Structures are given as C-alpha cells and as structure tokens.
Structure 1
Amino acid sequence: MPQHLIVLTGASRGMGLAMAQQLLRPGHALVCISRHRNPDLASLATRAGATLDQWEQDLAQGEQAAHRLQSWLSAHDPQTFASATLINNAGVIPRIAPLSASDPGDLANALRVGLEAPMQLTAAFLGATDTWAVPRKVLNISSGLGRRAMASQAAYCAAKAGMDHFTRCVALDEAVKPHGAKVCSLAPGVIDTDMQLQLRGADPTAFPDRQNFANLKTGGQLTSPTEAATRVLAWLERADFGTNPVADVRDA
C-alpha cells in the first residue's frame, strides 16, 4: 500500500523529536534530517511498523541537504506514496547579545540553518515532486518572534520573519498550479525546550526579556514538546491547511 511520506528536519530532540515519535506509525515513511541520529527512533519505528530513514546532515550546509533530498525524491516512484509532506523544524538561537556584539560567523550559521536551509529544502522538495499527483504540503515551523521584535534576538527574529514571508511567496507560486502544494508557516506557541533554557539563562544585561521567559517557566505557561507536537501535527491535518500561509496554533 502507498505510504504517507514525511520529511522532517531537526528531529533529534525537542519538539522535532516529539513530532518524529508521533509520526512513526503504520503507513508512514519518515525521513529525518538532523546533525545526529536518534537511536531510540529506530527501535520505535520497528515496533510501530513504520519506515524510517535518518540522515546525518548539518543544515548549515543547506545546499548539500537540498541536493540530497532532490536526488532521493527523484529516484522514487511517486506511486509508492499516498502523500508527501516537508516539515522544516530545525533552527538555532545564536549567542544572545545585541547585534553590535554578535559574531559574524554565529549570525551566518543561524541564518543558514533557520532561513537558507528551509528555502533550499522547500525548493528541492517542491521541484522534485512537482508532477506528483498526490497531496503535497510544506509546514514551516516559525515563531511569534518572526512577527514581534525582541532585543538581542536579531538573527532569530530575522530568520523566522524571512520564513514567514517566503512562505507567503511560495503560497502564491503554488496557487496557480493545477496540483499546487499547500504551504503554511506556523508558530507553535512557547515550548519548554533547550532554547527556552538558553533564554532563561542569558545575561540579563544583554537580554532585557530574560525575566519574562523565566516567569513563563515558573508560571507553568510553557507547553511540553509532546503537547506542542500534537497541536502542530493536528494543524497539519486540518482540511483548511494552507488557507492562511502564516498562522499560529494559538489561533485555533
């Protein structure tokens, strides 16, 4: 029977890992792209009767990842899949500091992983599957910081704002095609991940919003990675997915 293909980046930890765990079920073929393999996913896939392929890939080398994805997709018979979905989840926060105190290499890495790689992978995915007569979706995991400025977060905010806007552009591209893909840049809410730990541990003199993030933790206002993954994947399954190319799970 045809399988539902999902390509997921940043699947080795946090919400990405939680999404991978929930996506490993019968009838699914999951390709995870991360810097490191997660051995627990392999055993989970076996128990779940799902197909899993883990690629060790630094997404700072987005062009390399995109070429690999395009070649892999082109080598497969589209009839083996019932649908095809790309989830761009990976992202990094560079050292928390005002832009004037930021390292150029650190900034470049954050933008490569958070913006360049999603664009390159989306281009490869849509190009390789353009003639596939199956439902296709691209889900970009964005952030409220792509829509709201924050001090000492210029690179992360810029990457997510760019993700939102390139998603709007792709939605226009795909809308004029007979079998165009549905695309959405989705903010998943505030999640209790390593990123939050990084923000709460920042130097308050360099990060004025540090206490606000600490208050979210102490006030129990953070969503667990598992709960956030469930909400994001539920959004992916909505009948109106892509109607609004930039969305927030909290608007559901």
Structure 2
Amino acid sequence: MSVFHLYILTGSSRGMGLAMAAQLLQPGQHLLCIARQPSTTLQAPPGALLEQWPLDLAQGAQAAQKLHAWLQGLAPARYASATLINNAGVMPRIAPLADCAASDDLNGIANALRVGLEAPMLLSAAFLAATEDWGLPRKLLNISSGLGRRPMAAQAPYCAAKAGLDHFSRCLALEEAAKPHGARVCALAPGVIDTDMQLQLRSASATHFPDQERFAALHHSGELTDSTSAAARVLAWLARPDFGQAAVADVRTP
C-alpha cells in the first residue's frame, strides 16, 4: 500500500496558491485543493493524487463540515503526515471605511473577513479534530501578510483579517503545544508578491489610498517576487525542521 503526505490547500486557483499547488504535486503527495473555481492546469503526475473542490470559503461552515467528514473517511495508515495550508484571501474595495457604507461595499467587507479569517479558523478546527488521533506529524500553515503587522489606511478590513490570523495562530500554537502530539502552527508572511492584489493596490486611486505610490514604485523597480518563487520560499519554510517554533514569521527573516 502506498503511503502519502497529505496536503490541503485553499486559494489554489491562481497566484501563489496555484504555484504552491503545482509544486506540491509530486510523487508521494496527496493534494486536496479548495477554491471557488478548480484549476484546469493542475495535473497529478504518476504516484501523486489530486482532488479539487469548487467551494466558496465565504461559506466556511459548510466547507469545514465537508472537510471534517472527508478526513474521517480516510485511512490514517495511508499517510506519513498531514498539512493544512490556509492561503485563500480576498481584498475588498480599497477605500477609507467611512466611504464603504454602500451595500456592495459592506458585503465585500463581510466577505473578506469570512474568507480571510473565519474560514481558516473553521477549517483548522475541522482539520485538527479529524486528525487528532492519526498519530503522525501534522502542520498548519496560515498565509499571513505584512499588512497584518503594519496598519495601512484604506485597507482596514484586509489588515484586520491578517492581524486576526496572526493572533489566532499564536493562540492555536499554545493549544497544540500542550498536547503530546499537537500540530505545529505558523502564520507566515510570504513577502511582496506580484499578484492580482498587488495590481489592485498600485492601480487604486491615490486620493483614496495614500500608499498607492509606494506600491506602484515596488512594481516599477522590480521589487516584487513572482508567484513561483514566492511559493517555493513558502514551501521551503514549511519543510524547515524548526517550522512552528515561531507562531508568527516572515520569509524575509531568517
């Protein structure tokens, strides 16, 4: 019977998430991707397993219930390790909060908090509960951001979601460290990456977004990391023997 390393990855349909999915598809890996739309470019090579669930993580409770049931249906003896990577995130309208009272803007704020903070908490609960007795190494990686650690005008919902993700990771790391075989937990900032979110930031109105010029300059000066390189750095951090020693970390810090 083949033994696999199990990976569950959210936000896998584009950007760094898609790049991580492609790099994880190696022989001996079983990858479950969760995103609103499945990727047509991902293909499992011989010796690897790939599943894709088209789910909206704004409906986090349903996704967590499905994940819990799916994990309970697996045979733990088939796995050497299990890892959850909460990568999905949504950026709402870039504007001061006082300018976001229209219904579409309010829904966008709620959606960003659900996808960026609520869903990771719910999926983490499902993952940890279902694998509690598997008796194998488990890791939980939350993809954070420097914006969770540095305030930025016109980005309060996104900053708040990432700051919440950081502190959630700290709390969860304490809980798991108290267990004999607890999961290792880390909220990791992946650096400044050339993604659709970066395009949104540098294309925003400078009137509403005071930091627009700085983000435009990052792109102009070539300081953005491409998605493939960023994914490789994140996965290298995940593979470190000291992963989880710091509950909150940054790939740019050794």
Match of 1:110 in 2: 112
* Whole-Å separation in 1 of the counterparts to 2:222 and 2:68: 42
Unaligned runs of 5+ residues in structure 1 are: none
* Whole-Å separation in 2 of the counterparts to 1:86 and 1:24: 15
CA displacement, residues 58-108 of structure 1 (integer Å, 9 cap, x when unaligned): 000000100000000011111111100000000010010001112221110
Q: Do 1:14 and 1:193's aligned partners in 2 also have CA atoms closer than 8 Å?
A: yes
Match of 1:135 in 2: 137
Match of 1:27 in 2: 28
Percent identity, aligned pairs only, is 66
Match of 1:68 in 2: 66
* Whole-Å separation in 1 of the counterparts to 2:77 and 2:146: 38
SS at match of 1:247: strand
* Whole-Å separation in 2 of the counterparts to 1:188 and 1:48: 30
**One-letter amino acid of the counterpart of residue 2, structure 1:** V
* Whole-Å separation in 2 of the counterparts to 1:101 and 1:51: 46
Q: Equivalent of 1:50, from 35, 48, 55?
A: 48
Structure 1 outlier segments of 4+, above 3 Å: none
Match of 2:77 in 1: 79
SS at match of 1:11: coil
* Whole-Å separation in 2 of the counterparts to 1:92 and 1:108: 10
**One-letter amino acid of the counterpart of residue 142, structure 1:** S
**One-letter amino acid of the counterpart of residue 26, structure 1:** P
* Whole-Å separation in 2 of the counterparts to 1:196 and 1:218: 12
Correspondence list, 1:1-252, <5 A = 1-41=2-42, 44-45=43-44, 47-102=45-100, 103-252=105-254
SS at match of 1:116: helix
For residue 2 of structure 1, report the CA deviation from its aligned partner. Answer: 1.1
* Whole-Å separation in 1 of the counterparts to 2:203 and 2:48: 38
Unaligned runs of 5+ residues in structure 2 are: none
Number of aligned residue pairs: give it.
249
* Whole-Å separation in 2 of the counterparts to 1:191 and 1:204: 21
TM-score, normalised by the number of residues in structure 1? 0.98
* Whole-Å separation in 1 of the counterparts to 2:193 and 2:47: 29
**One-letter amino acid of the counterpart of residue 12, structure 1:** S
* Whole-Å separation in 1 of the counterparts to 2:108 and 2:178: 38
For residue 48 of structure 1, report the CA deviation from its aligned partner. Answer: 4.7
Q: Are residues 100 and 179 of structure 1, via their aligned partners in 2, closer, same or farther at CA, if it must alter by over 3 Å?
A: same
**One-letter amino acid of the counterpart of residue 99, structure 1:** L
User: RMSD value over aligned CA atoms?
Assistant: 0.7
SS at match of 2:41: helix
